[in-house]
Structure 1
Amino acid sequence: MSKVVLVTGASSGIGKAIATFLSEKGYKVYGTSRSPKNQETFSFELIALDVLKIETIKTAVDFIIKKESKIDVLVNNAGIGITGSIEDTPTEEMRNAFNTNFFGAIDVIKTVLPHMRKQKYGVIVNTTSIAGYMGLPFRGIYSSSKGALELVTEATRMEVKRFGINIVNVAPGDFATDIISRRYHTPIFEDSAYKENYKANLDLMDAHVDTGKNPIEMAKKVYEIINTKNPKIHYKVGGFLEKFSIVLKRVLPDTWFEKILMNHYKL
C-alpha cells in the first residue's frame, strides 16, 4: 500500500509543492486548507483544516483514518508570517502568530500521534524556518514562534522514539511563495520611532522572498527525509549565506553576530 501523507497548509507555496511532489511520487496525499476550493487544480485531495480550530483538526484526521486506516507521514507546514517592531506590533497579533505557528502545529501532532503509536510507525516533519535560529529585527515574533517549534520537536522526538515515530524539523530560508500576501504586517505608523528602519527592512524582506528559491527544493528534501531510515533532527534548506549564518551565530561572540545582523539590516 502507498504511504498516506497529511500536509497542512497545502493550498499554496511550500505546502502545495510538497503535496504535489509526493503525490507524483506515488504517495496518497491529503493536503489541507482552511477553505478548500478548485479541487481540480490539485493532484492530491484537499480537505478542510484550520489549525486554530481543534475540531477541524480532529475531523480531518478522522476522515483520513476512516478512508485509509493510517497516517504514515505528517508534514506540519501551515503557518503565517508576521512583521513589525515589538513595541508597535499588537500583542493580539503576536498571540495569533504563536497560536498558528506553534500551538496549531502542536495540536495537529497531538491528534495524529495516537494513530501513529497504534500502528507503531510514523514520521512527522515540522516546517520551521532558518529565521527560527536567531532573533531577526522586525521579525522577532515570527523567529521566536518557529524557534519554539524547533525546541518542542527535539523534546517530543525523544518522548515518542520508542513507539517507532520520528519527528524532524526542516528549516527553509527565503522561498519564492505568496507568503507576503498572507503575512501580517504591522502598519508603518507615522509617529513610530521605528518608521524609517521598519519601512526599509520591510522592502528588504519582500525582495528576499521575491528572489527566493523554488519551493520544489523543500519538496525534495521532505521526500528524502521520509525515505531515510534514521533521519536527523534538524535540516536546513536555503542559500549558502542563510545556512552559514547559523554557523556564525554558533561560533561568534553574541555581540559580534549582533553587529553583523545590524549592518545587514542597516540599523
Structure 2
Amino acid sequence: MTKDQDSGGRRAAPLPISPGHLARIRQDVMVNPRSVAAQLIAAIDQLQADNARLATENMHLRRDAAQHPICPLTPRQLAVLTGAANGESRIETARRLAVAEQTVASFRKIIVARVGARNLTQAVAFALTREWIPAAAIVVEGFSPVALGGDRPPRSGWAGVAQRVRGAWGGWVVLERKPINHRRVLTNTAYRIRKARISHFGPAGSFDTRVDNDGPNAVLLARYAALSSEITERASA
C-alpha cells in the first residue's frame, strides 16, 4: 500500500489546500513566476473565476425562470387575454376572433384557473408582468401623437400618456404606430421622452423608450424606468 492509498487499497482523496498554504504558495510564485507552483495558482484562479461565472449565470437563470415562467395558455386563450388587457368586452373579443360570445366567456374562466388568478384582472396582471403578452399588443387609446409637422398634442394628451405609462408598473406600453418609412419620427420622439424634452416625462432618465418593427409599421414603446428605484427608496424609508 502506498501513501496515496487507504487501507482498502483505494486511492485516497487529495486533501484540500488551506488558505494559509495557498498564501505561502502565492508568495513563492512572486519570487519564481515560472515555477510549477505558478501554474498551480493560475489553474486555481481560473477555476475560481469559472465557478463565480457559473454561479452568476445560474442565479440569472433562476431569476428569469421565476420572473418569466412558461405561459400555460394556448395561443387562442392568450389572444382572449390580450383582448381583456386592451379593455375589450366579451362581444368585441368574440367579433375579433370570429367566435361566439359564450366561447370567450368560457375561455376567460379557463384562463383565470390556469394562471392561478382570483379574477380576470389579476390574470391580465400576471400575463403582463411575466411578459406572456408582448408589449406591442398593448395600445394606449385616445391619444393623438405629435404630428409630422411638429405640432404639440393637447396639454392633457402627453400628461395622460405619461400617467398611463407610470401606471403600467414598469411594463412596456405602445405610444404610437407609424409606417416603417416614418421610423425616424418615432426615434426622435423616443429621444425627447428619455431626455424629458416633453415635460410630463421628467426628470430625464425616468422613462425607457424603444422603437420596434412590426410588419410594415414602426412602433414606439415606453416604460417607467424610475419605478424600481422608487420602490427601493420607499422600502428603506
Q: What TM-score do you get using the length of structure 1 for normalisation?
A: 0.28
Q: Which has the larger radius of gyration?
A: 2
Structure number with the higher strand fraction is: 1
